[in-house]
Structure 1
């Protein structure tokens, strides 16, 4: 431990201050939890010899102490520790803080362990007052520069520390108002056109505004200024925008921020000075080029404020080759040292370069993947580290259709943005909107691209959803029917767009608060990545990856992204141990799953096979039959459809496993509700309208989710699972004769006791034996259950005795375990998030402390009974990276997700294995 570090620690009893000066530092890059990202990287840059202005970091422990102790600071912080650290900076530079002749000025910046750009506060040029500003002017020989610094300092300090910053965008910053009035009076446009006299008068006006708003004069004592600035930085950890940002990015509030106090260097001393922000590679594309912007005669906030147009960093090579070469050398050194793409901030003071910050740069999904791939090819990182570098969700940007960004922005600029909902299914879609599945089908038959717009979707909309380019709903959340099916189908979906006002009868769509009326058949565009709904068409195109998978003709030079994507999938397959299957109900979905690397089907929802055409009529006939004989006659009509569907799935999957869930939902979901539809059905099945209507009414249940569905339906009406099992085994026999050794996994839904599984298993085995005898072909099959009822989870040791596998249906298990309807949870879950009741939506990411304990217990008890019991998950959580990590930890064999989530799940599984 350095001597200076020991001295500071001895004074306060606990070390809160970490200095960086003279080419060395008390800390390093590994200390982000204590020093925050900015402080840790300042220390690291100092340690590797980069030109960093000296300073010190006040650790995150002071921030947490401040909040824990009722806004009081650790003893000795301001009267011993900070003065000692400040003295080191003064010694390094030969200047004194507050010296009226040659003042040391400071910057005070926040810096949490996770980057939160723009969310917390910064104060520059601290230490100026009526005396030191004159000393700075004299010493620099540049009065305009000195008064410009003073003007900037008073505005920042007034906004951040004294509270003059406007509460929202509707109000004008009093300092900006003064500055604009002064510039208008002088007839100038830029701050740089103001001379020293102008700036002196503006400073006086700023001070008058502070006295008017606060009743107190601007503080002249530099040490009082420093204490106020440090306090404001720590308090900004809990400002509104920081809290919102933390919640959006799952950053815990208990982390706190560090505070960095650093000697000022000045980019606003004239045309030989400047400031800039750059990335060591292109943060949008990932291309290995130096990318950034700069301004001469400016301070840092000028680059991002928009008041002056910054210049591209490439121009600096022509304007100042020496500085550019130094920056380019630092760029290389930082990449070699950190082995990552870095975001840097720099200042040029009278021709001398200083580094103010570096951090791992934010980047698009495409850039992240390309950078990791290129760095692996360059030998900076290995393939394991390349996998660790990519957040699985970033792969989505490589898979989804995309809008032409220029066209989209032009549409928004012309006022065509209608509303914003939940971004439930990423991608981009454009087409004419229709309110019903039938209208959508007719439009598609006319050659139109279709957007299906519904108040909320139901299983009966399945065909319209399958034909639509995108789905838009007024109601429903991220796990609503629309969202679930859209993700499975790879459809763009914007859900829960509450500002929509849909009138089915008039065929109109209105937007709350806007004088806009759209008619059915008008064009809409949906951005599933942002949730934006835009009037009119915007051109979309396949992503490069999907274009290759769809066998669109692309020359190798036209598919560089595919090459990178394919390599990441190969690396993922090399290291992961958790298998990835797909939720798929139709052969085309299964084929897509195989192309995307799926290793089987983890959930085939057979109810989705009964909608459309003659199938739904036969299904309704079966439901409304008077007795078992009538049901069997109707089921005989459904048998060929089911057999054909299963054969198609088996053929698409080859010899990969296919898990088929027997009929699960309540029967009323298959029945019409409108009188006109009931009358049409009555005519088809040859029964009176009144009789059919009464029968439908008698099937009404008070709580259908907990009513006659799942295994209960099969036990009460065994002819239903008997037909489905016959179709499965007959299709398996046919596919075996074609040369594929398929092993169907027949899954019994909604069991709560082992006896339910035993009764249903007897039906399954009886029919399977009969079919194999008829076909003179033997096939292997498994019988298991979906664990989706809490009682089943806690009695898994009993249920395992009758099961070959468990598949966790976490959608219903979450609903039942939490006592929450997922379709209605949008009314309260946002508030729950604000109150930190749940870190994440439990219907999107497994509630590990609650529902996760049920899964862990079930897996443990099931395996104690059967060591090789196959365990998987097929709820929507199967595509969530955090849930996949949990599944890996508790020893599941596979996860199953919608086909388009397979690459995300594979990468997440590989990262788990590399932890």
Structure 2
């Protein structure tokens, strides 16, 4: 099997075999661009090496043939005393992994050929400068000698001579450095091979080995790159950017990788080789300056950049070398870019006619959109701070503020004008006021769908949870991480994208929704068959989601509306009442509050669908949790503490997630659901009087059977019909249910008889399917993920085998009863791109997610539709 291809033999379609770099070098060669000649050893050769731990005889024979061809093409020969051939050996995986694997330049130099190069070029300093570079790179890459050891030699001689730059080194200095470098080999029990053939063989082996070096393995893991791709090896004739002031090397992007602006962007250095640009040993110049120093070269580079961008139909990252005023291309690849730049470039390329809208949509990673919508830390400011502790990155963004340990203290500090970070062992719904005013929420316990995580995402606040190294003592008003103690009012900074906590203030930069993102989301909406709604409990949440293009509200959790102090007091009076008569007064007070809540949401939605879920949580969540709260509540309600404790004991549940909640609450306390429906209808009537028509969508949670849902539906419908009749108007409404239990999935065909729509509550369905508690998974889930017992956190990405199978069963059964049954997903996974793709495949009508995940879900939904359409066309 052929294992080596000359550049002229390949093309851009051979990426899997030739790697990205090899395929692009081949493509540029065939385009007639100035590429130094060379050849590529395939990824298949890498796989063979990994199995045999040696270069095969067949590969070595091919290598000899291609080296001879290279000698003929260049008129130079390995180890030639007059015209030595020098080459570079570079890695090149099928998926770009910048800087992760190894490269060696100037192979072919030795004690004799360095003198030949000096004579040939009439530049002795250049020759010895190239030799010292080879010795350092070869020693580091092949023998693992410390890079810093070579740097120390350079530094010592520069300090001795009083030099500030490598360019000041003389030929004699370089010869001294070469001897010192050779001594490093000797000290390590190694020797530098004088045979160019031995050099190239050792370099090839080192590049193959570098596929499994630590940084490459970590990079693949972080970027989800398959382990079995392997790397190609590119052997290329050297051109020299360090051949004098009419030579240089640089990197250029065809567009700004940070902003996406269309302009040649990059850096270069005169009299340098490639590592000088990236290592930071010298300060490079902006590539625009090249226009002044070498205008003809700059114009040629700009023309090539345009040619390659149009050819590849994407922003390109170019590596170039100038040797005595002649330009050479060493690499072209699709350039890495920020999420904001990626969106702008994709939209601009459509407007320029290079790609169509569908391709633009497929080029953007949906998850990356989250990074565009939240503040970020200034990179320079961040570099000056050490990570104090790390937790789970629950809600992206960057925030800095003063730390407080209770919701009340956080609220008071905010009202006094402070920037607040709320830090808790964990949060409960009663912490909502402190959470609302906080720049960020940090908890020592909890998982990615814990209360703190869900609320932070819903509010668009930065959130980090499950920071196990952190211990919070709200009574002492301290938090500790090892020996470090944080006190109330201390400044901290929180990165919700990485999960890092820092001490002190770090400057943030605000992110904005650019016009290009709005355009992309419009295209995504037109391309997708699934709707994208938001989970919103407040007008603020809804307004943010509408800004991102949400189709409406897919879930309003009414229980979140009851935790403000005046509402919590009424809710506690309601729960602690002895009978229905005692519940009347608090219900009346809550009804007025709920009416305004619903009116505000309906009015802001401006005709878009608003789905309101009736009260769901266990009643004990509204009751006090500690001695201080018990005393305060008893005083507020005029109760003896013993009376309050008795009532609390009666309401306590062993497993609240499986207890007295959802429509069970409606059966035992029908007046609560009746109150909420009345409040809803009063809001509808008010808007009708203003000329605004609202069609309520009412969601009944936690249904388990047709009989149960029929009973609760009758309660809801009777209230609606009586009120509409008394008002004398016709109200169009829908009453659906949340599918949250395995039993509901299994009996979905019967439940569909009395449900106008289904909406999957995937958080609870996942808990009840696995037998996990989402607030406790932090104790074992990391181990399950590390040991690959689970492929992903099932509360973040839907478990397609178990939970997904139940969902598909429910959809099929429900639509067997009602073929046009509308089916949504409103759990946390509604904003996860992988989950969205699965939901599209099983026929979900819409997803609903927190406001800041609406753009992510919108793009993921569009991509799912486009992939499905492509597959259907391929089958037909």
The verdict on how the C-alpha distance between 1:696 and 1:62 changes in structure 2, with shifts beyond 3 A counting, is: farther
Cα deviation for residue 689 of structure 1 reads: 0.4
Q: 1:571: which partner in 2?
A: 523
**Structure 2 residue 92 is matched with structure 1 residue 111:** yes
RMSD, aligned α-carbons: 2.9
Aligned partner of residue 472 in structure 1, secondary structure: strand
**How many residues are paired up?**
867
The verdict on how the C-alpha distance between 1:108 and 1:850 changes in structure 2, with shifts beyond 3 A counting, is: farther
**Structure 2 residue 686 is matched with structure 1 residue 705:** no
* Of 664-673 and 629-638, the range deviating more from structure 2: 629-638
Cα deviation for residue 525 of structure 1 reads: 4.2
Check whether the contact 1:501–1:512 (CA below 8 A) recurs between aligned residues: no
Of the three residues 11, 18, 27, the one matched with 2:5 is: 18
The verdict on how the C-alpha distance between 1:195 and 1:252 changes in structure 2, with shifts beyond 3 A counting, is: same
* Of 130-139 and 330-339, the range deviating more from structure 2: 130-139
Partners of 1:365 and 1:883 in 2: CA distance: 21
* Of 822-831 and 698-707, the range deviating more from structure 2: 822-831
**Structure 2 residue 20 is matched with structure 1 residue 37:** yes
Partners of 2:479 and 2:491 in 1: CA distance: 12
The verdict on how the C-alpha distance between 1:524 and 1:111 changes in structure 2, with shifts beyond 3 A counting, is: same
Of the three residues 62, 87, 99, the one matched with 1:81 is: 62
The verdict on how the C-alpha distance between 1:672 and 1:62 changes in structure 2, with shifts beyond 3 A counting, is: farther
Cα deviation for residue 793 of structure 1 reads: 3.2
Q: 1:749: which partner in 2?
A: 701
**Structure 2 residue 768 is matched with structure 1 residue 793:** no
**Structure 2 residue 545 is matched with structure 1 residue 593:** yes
Check whether the contact 1:344–1:359 (CA below 8 A) recurs between aligned residues: yes
Q: 2:120: which partner in 1?
A: 139
Aligned partner of residue 265 in structure 1, secondary structure: coil
Q: 1:443: which partner in 2?
A: 413
The verdict on how the C-alpha distance between 1:210 and 1:759 changes in structure 2, with shifts beyond 3 A counting, is: farther
Of the three residues 196, 209, 214, the one matched with 1:222 is: 196
* Of 777-786 and 845-854, the range deviating more from structure 2: 845-854
Check whether the contact 1:754–1:799 (CA below 8 A) recurs between aligned residues: yes
Q: 1:899: which partner in 2?
A: 851
Check whether the contact 1:678–1:689 (CA below 8 A) recurs between aligned residues: yes
Q: 2:454: which partner in 1?
A: 484
Partners of 1:726 and 1:218 in 2: CA distance: 87
**Structure 2 residue 485 is matched with structure 1 residue 520:** no
Deviations along 1:864-910, whole A, 9 cap, x unmatched? 33211111111122222232222223222111111222233323333
Check whether the contact 1:411–1:534 (CA below 8 A) recurs between aligned residues: no
Of the three residues 676, 694, 712, the one matched with 1:760 is: 712
Partners of 1:656 and 1:293 in 2: CA distance: 50
Q: 1:682: which partner in 2?
A: 634
Partners of 2:783 and 2:13 in 1: CA distance: 36
Partners of 2:363 and 2:288 in 1: CA distance: 28
Partners of 1:15 and 1:632 in 2: CA distance: 85
Partners of 2:268 and 2:781 in 1: CA distance: 43
Cα deviation for residue 533 of structure 1 reads: 4.3
* Of 868-877 and 829-838, the range deviating more from structure 2: 829-838
The verdict on how the C-alpha distance between 1:44 and 1:826 changes in structure 2, with shifts beyond 3 A counting, is: farther
Partners of 2:544 and 2:575 in 1: CA distance: 33
The verdict on how the C-alpha distance between 1:755 and 1:131 changes in structure 2, with shifts beyond 3 A counting, is: farther
Cα deviation for residue 266 of structure 1 reads: 1.6
> Scaled by the length of structure 2, what TM-score is found?
0.92
Cα deviation for residue 372 of structure 1 reads: 2.6
Aligned partner of residue 209 in structure 2, secondary structure: helix
1:366-445 correspondence runs (5 A): 366-401=340-375, 405=378, 409-410=380-381, 413=384, 419=389, 421-445=391-415
Partners of 2:174 and 2:707 in 1: CA distance: 86
Partners of 1:45 and 1:370 in 2: CA distance: 26
- Gaps of at least 5 residues in structure 2 are 868-876
Deviations along 1:209-242, whole A, 9 cap, x unmatched? 33433x3433334333333322222222222222
The verdict on how the C-alpha distance between 1:88 and 1:829 changes in structure 2, with shifts beyond 3 A counting, is: farther
Q: 2:423: which partner in 1?
A: 453
Partners of 2:61 and 2:805 in 1: CA distance: 50
Partners of 1:602 and 1:110 in 2: CA distance: 49
Deviations along 1:100-123, whole A, 9 cap, x unmatched? 443322222222222211111212
1:628-667 correspondence runs (5 A): 628-631=580-583, 634-667=586-619
Partners of 1:735 and 1:424 in 2: CA distance: 37
1:849-860 correspondence runs (5 A): 849-860=801-812
1:151-230 correspondence runs (5 A): 151-165=132-146, 173-213=148-188, 215-230=189-204
- Gaps of at least 5 residues in structure 1 are 1-13, 166-171, 546-560
Q: 1:473: which partner in 2?
A: 443
Check whether the contact 1:733–1:778 (CA below 8 A) recurs between aligned residues: no
Check whether the contact 2:445–2:778 (CA below 8 A) recurs between aligned residues: no
Cα deviation for residue 585 of structure 1 reads: 0.9
Q: 1:344: which partner in 2?
A: 318
Of the three residues 259, 281, 284, the one matched with 1:307 is: 281
Partners of 1:577 and 1:453 in 2: CA distance: 41
Check whether the contact 1:116–1:245 (CA below 8 A) recurs between aligned residues: yes
Deviations along 1:701-735, whole A, 9 cap, x unmatched? 33222233223333344443333333334433443
Cα deviation for residue 345 of structure 1 reads: 0.4
Of the three residues 232, 239, 245, the one matched with 2:213 is: 239
Cα deviation for residue 863 of structure 1 reads: 2.3
Cα deviation for residue 358 of structure 1 reads: 0.9
> Scaled by the length of structure 1, what TM-score is found?
0.88
Cα deviation for residue 39 of structure 1 reads: 1.5
Cα deviation for residue 680 of structure 1 reads: 1.8
